[in-house]
Amino acid sequence: MHLVAASDEQQLQRDALTYSEWGKLLSPQGYAAREQRLRAHPWSRSDMRTWLLCGEDGEVLASCETFRTRSFLRNDEGSLVPGDSFAIASVFTEERLRGHGYATRLMDLLAAELERQPHAHAALLFSDVGPRIYARSGYQELPAWDWHLPPTPGNPGEPVDSLLREEDLATALGRLRLPEVPFFFWPTPAQLDWHLERGRIYVEHLGCSLPASVGANAGASTILWGLVGRSAELTVLMLDARSPSEAQALLEAARREASRSRLSRVVVWEEPSHAPLLPRLQGEGATRVARDGSLPMVRPLRPGLPLSPLLPTPRGLWV
Ligand SMILES: CC(C)(COP(=O)(O)OP(=O)(O)OC[C@H]1O[C@@H](n2cnc3c(N)ncnc32)[C@H](O)[C@@H]1OP(=O)(O)O)[C@@H](O)C(=O)NCCC(=O)NCCS
């Protein structure tokens, strides 16, 4: 068995097979168009690949995708050294081929391939099938808790200093504090826009509208959000809340934006930096739930990569 990067034609052949798994709400043609559109997005074009595990006769046994994603390592002087990490998505084996270890073999060969990339730091994935299969290939799971907040009526701009528009994404991302851990992943503006592109594709199937804002500023704190997939929810992509009152203001704006856009709730992925601030929202109908799927798992691609238990995996990193 060997690993190859798929050609455009092979990518289309995989789309036809993965439709049954990831095509909900879309027709087969709509799903094929979604895949084409997401692959044409600037973030994907910067380095997205489909990988195939092939048998000796060339038959495709399993597939997955990688997106190159930025990461930073602190050196001994405390300076940040940028490098490349790889977010892995859409691991897939056709039903008739499952249970023969093909997905595991694919993950092992892929890790060996990624380890050979210059400046490689780590691989990141979000498992929908629990930790066991990926742990076999060296991935470690991280905590996965979500907060769900109900929408609330009102002007979203009122509780905050300003609401953000799409053209503000890069500036807003630049305002966020970087995590104080020895190694972390950090998205680019194009990467965050890729999530919004998914929302632009799904909005016509969901009976809601695209949120008019992509986040908000309150004091020194910043939140970025969007409609990002096939659930009519306002998903928080990044949150840097520097005080309880600023966290409250930003999330109040999110709840109002959800209401204005006819979305069913606000979803916040808990991160170590803002976890202590969120319980204060419980009186307002917020609930903390174990995440259903999307379990973050990380695998170092170089010896000695320091993986902190406090490594944040914001929703903006999901693929
Ligand atoms: C998950 C998947 C890629 C595994 O492919 P595979 O080639 O059969 O994988 P392997 O033979 O290497 O490993 C199979 C293991 O995956 C586990 N697995 C498969 N589907 C699972 C699920 N839904 N939940 C939990 N474990 C699952 C099997 O129980 C088996 O575990 P075991 O060997 O410890 O008993 C395949 O089932 C698939 O394509 N599923 C649909 C798409 C999907 O969910 N992909 C994963 C996205 S994170």
**Domain at 165, CATH number:** 3.40.630
- Identify whether residues 127 and 213 lie together within a single domain: no
The position carrying tokens 């966290």 is 247
- Identify whether residues 165 and 286 lie together within a single domain: yes
Provide the 3-class DSSP secondary structure of residue 278: helix
Distance 99 CA to ligand 1 centre (A): 7
Q: State if residue 104 touches ligand 1 by the CB under 6 angstroms criterion.
A: yes
In the chain, the number of structural domains is 2
Distance 257 CA to ligand 1 centre (A): 37
pLDDT digits (tens, 9 = 90+) for 69-81: 999 999 989 899 9
- Identify whether residues 154 and 116 lie together within a single domain: no
Distance 232 CA to ligand 1 centre (A): 28
Residue 181's pLDDT is: 95
Using most ligand atoms within 8 A of CB, pick from 93, 100, 125 the residue to mutate for ligand 1: 93
Q: State if residue 93 touches ligand 1 by the CB under 6 angstroms criterion.
A: yes
- Identify whether residues 304 and 265 lie together within a single domain: no
- Identify whether residues 238 and 122 lie together within a single domain: no
Q: State if residue 24 touches ligand 1 by the CB under 6 angstroms criterion.
A: no
- Identify whether residues 114 and 165 lie together within a single domain: no
Residue 282's pLDDT is: 79
Amino acid letter for position 29: Q
Residue 280's pLDDT is: 84
Integer Cα distance of 247 and 287 in angstroms: 16
- Identify whether residues 121 and 187 lie together within a single domain: no
Print the domain residue range for 43: 2-143+293-317
Query: Tens-of-pLDDT digits for all 319 residues of the chain?
Result: 999 999 999 999 999 999 999 999 999 999 999 999 999 999 999 999 999 999 999 999 999 999 999 999 999 898 999 999 999 999 999 999 999 999 999 999 999 999 999 999 999 999 999 999 999 999 999 999 999 999 999 999 999 999 999 999 999 999 999 999 999 999 999 999 999 999 999 999 998 999 999 999 999 999 999 999 999 999 999 999 999 999 999 999 999 999 999 999 999 999 999 888 988 887 789 999 999 999 999 999 999 999 999 999 999 999 9
Q: State if residue 294 touches ligand 1 by the CB under 6 angstroms criterion.
A: no
- Identify whether residues 151 and 219 lie together within a single domain: yes
- Identify whether residues 173 and 281 lie together within a single domain: yes
CATH number at residue 116: 3.40.630.30
Amino acid letter for position 209: S
Q: Please name every residue paired with 50 in a beta bridge, in sequence order, or none if there are none.
A: 65
- Other CB atoms within 10 A of residue 125 CB: 25
Q: Which tokens go with 55?
A: 């048998």
- How is 176-234 classified by DSSP, letter by letter? SPPP-SSEEE---HHHHHHHHHHHHHHGGGTTS---S-SEEEETTEEEEEE--SSS--E
Distance 133 CA to ligand 1 centre (A): 7
For ligand 1, atom 11: residue with the closest CA:
101
Distance 102 CA to ligand 1 centre (A): 9
- Identify whether residues 238 and 283 lie together within a single domain: yes
- Identify whether residues 100 and 168 lie together within a single domain: no
Report which ligand 1 atom has the smallest distance to the Cα of 104.
Answer: 12
Q: Where are the alpha helices (DSSP H) in the chain?
A: 8-22, 28-40, 42-47, 102-115, 132-135, 169-175, 189-202, 244-260
Report which ligand 1 atom has the smallest distance to the Cα of 136.
Answer: 34
- Identify whether residues 222 and 245 lie together within a single domain: yes
Sheet containing strand 287-290, strands side by side:
162-164, 215-218, 221-226, 234-240, 266-269, 145-149, 287-290
